[in-house]
Amino acid sequence: MFKMLISRFAAAIPSLFGVLVIAFVLTRALPGDPAAFLAGPAASQEAIEEIRSTLELDKGLMAQFVDYTRNVFNGDLGSSWSTGQPVLSELVSRMPASIELTLLGLSFAIAVAVPLGVLSATRPGSWIDHGCRLLTTAGVSLPIFFTGLLLVYVFYFLLGWAPAPMGRLSLFADAPPSVTGFFLLDSLLAGQWATFVEALQHIALPAINLGIFALAPIARMTRASMLGVLSSDFVRTAKAHQLPPRKILYGYALHNAMLPVITTLGMVFSFLLGANVLVEKVFSWPGVGSFALEAVVISDYAAVQGFVLAMGIFYVFLNLLIDIVYGLVDPRVRIAT
């Protein structure tokens, strides 16, 4: 098993290298003077020259790439000219908000999609089956920002159930003492029940929005996988031995069907990390996505590229994690490697 972990880590290294290359190319791809772009539209000529010499933009591209890589390993992703802060510290401070939202959205999606997929596969042709298939096709067709707005309109404006889409807590509330950065967890840990409820109310709609988006591919994969497994030889054997239907469904069928779903999660995360940006805009969520959005609008170039690089690295590690989890769950991979 140790060997499997090592080999998986090794496979991630070329991806990390690729991410660095692409992110570097993007920072130098602008037509014109990179120093001017990094300094910002309001910079004076001296500021631009200062940036040019600090970053040694006169050197050849290869040398610049080496510098760039070294900086990244030291945690230097550049500075945002609008806030003056290092990009990395901005990202780190905003990460918990995005992660909390994404995790909750994903949990919601899995909690709905997996049972839906299972029901759809075990009752083919029923209205649940047709509903599931319609939902999965519609789900990948919905523009996520549009569903967000619809949710806000229905649940905030019409029904008044949800609070205004203005961030993680209402304007007058204080954040709970920071332990993990996840408001839900922190408020529970501090025993602040009212804060917990308020945080929950604020995160509900954006999480559901993200969840609806992730629902479709997960339900589709679960359904397809279950259909395949239910008609497999070993399920037939289990039925021949008159194993209890519940055991066949969960212990035999679902257990096997979940394996391809785990690999699907990689693709789902690719959608989610991109969708995060859109959802954070709709709900004014103070995460890394809205950080990137603000930066894009004001042409804060270093911030945007720092965001892209950080997301790339994060995604590579996420895929690595999924690979490892799969390797642990499937004995054929765990033992054979």
Partner 1 sequence: MNTEKPLLEIDKLAISFTTRHGIVQAVEEVSWLLMPGEILGIVGESGSGKSVSTLALMGLLDANGFIASGQMRYRGQLLGCDAASDHRLRSRMAMIFQYPRLALNPIRRVGQQIIDVLKVIGDPGNCNALKARAIALLDEVQISSPEQRFYAYPFELSGGMCQRILIAMALARSPDLLVADEPSTGLDVVTQEAILALIANAARRRQMATLFITHDLGLAAKHCQRIVVMQNGRVVESAPAAELFARPRERYTRSLIAATPALMKNLAELRAVYAEEEASMEQTR
Partner 2 sequence: MKDFLNHALYVFRSNPVTAVAFIAFGLIVLVAVFGALLVPYDPLAIEAANQFSPPSWQHWFGTDQVGRDIFSRTVVATRIDLLISVVAVALSLVVGTALGCIAGYYGGWFDRLCGRLVDTIMAFPLFVLAMGIVAALGNSVVNIIYATAIINLPFYIRLARAEVNVRRSSAYIDAAILAGNSDTRIITLHLLPNILPPMMVQISLNMGWAILNAAGLSFIGLGVRPPAAEWGIMVAEGAQYIVSGEWWISFFPGMALMLCVLCFNFIGDGLRDMMDPRKRT
Out of 258, 273, 291, 327, name the contact with partner 2 by CB under 8 A: 273
The answer to whether residue 124 forms part of the interface with partner 2 (CB under 8 A) is: no
Minimum Å gap between C-beta 230 and partner 1 is: 10
- The residue count for binding partner 2 (CB under 8 A) is 59
* Residues 17-56 contacting partner 2, CB under 8 A: 18-19, 21-23, 26-27, 29-31
The 3-state DSSP class for residue 36 equals helix
- Distance, in Å, from the CA atom of 283 to the CA atom of 166, rounded to the nearest integer, reads 6
Q: Using CB under 8 A, which of the segments 96-104, 105-113, 151-159, 234-242 binds partner 2?
A: 151-159
- Distance, in Å, from the CA atom of 127 to the CA atom of 121, rounded to the nearest integer, reads 12
The answer to whether residue 296 forms part of the interface with partner 2 (CB under 8 A) is: yes
**Closer residue to partner 2, CB minimum distance, 189 or 315:** 315
Identify the residue whose tokens are 């308020």.
198
Q: Which does 301 bind (CB under 5 to 8 A by kind): partner 2, partner 1, none?
A: partner 2
Q: Judge contact between 37 and 55, C-beta under 8 A.
A: no
Q: Judge contact between 300 and 81, C-beta under 8 A.
A: yes
**Closer residue to partner 1, CB minimum distance, 194 or 336:** 336
Q: Judge contact between 287 and 273, C-beta under 8 A.
A: no
- Distance, in Å, from the CA atom of 82 to the CA atom of 299, rounded to the nearest integer, reads 9
DSSP symbol at 153: I
The answer to whether residue 68 forms part of the interface with partner 2 (CB under 8 A) is: no
- The DSSP string of 154-203 is IIIIIS--SPPSSSSS-TTPPPPPPSSS-HHHHHHHTT-HHHHHHHHHHH
Taking each helix axis from N to C end, the angle separating 127-141 and 193-230, rounded to the nearest 10 degrees, works out to 110
Minimum Å gap between C-beta 49 and partner 2 is: 22
- Distance, in Å, from the CA atom of 238 to the CA atom of 241, rounded to the nearest integer, reads 5
**Closer residue to partner 2, CB minimum distance, 175 or 262:** 262
Residues at the site binding partner 1, with contacts judged by CB under 8 A: 124, 231-234, 236-244, 247, 251-252, 255-256, 259, 330-332, 335-336
The answer to whether residue 9 forms part of the interface with partner 2 (CB under 8 A) is: no
Q: Using CB under 8 A, which of the segments 172-180, 200-208, 217-225, 254-262 binds partner 2?
A: 217-225
Q: Which does 315 bind (CB under 5 to 8 A by kind): partner 1, partner 2, none?
A: partner 2
Q: Which residues contact 16 (CB under 8 A, 6 or more apart)?
A: 313, 316
Residue numbers at the binding site for partner 2 (CB under 8 A): 14-16, 18-19, 21-23, 26-27, 29-31, 133, 137-138, 140-146, 149-150, 152-153, 156-157, 164-165, 220, 223-224, 269-275, 277-278, 281-282, 292-293, 296-297, 301, 304-305, 307-308, 311-312, 315-316, 319
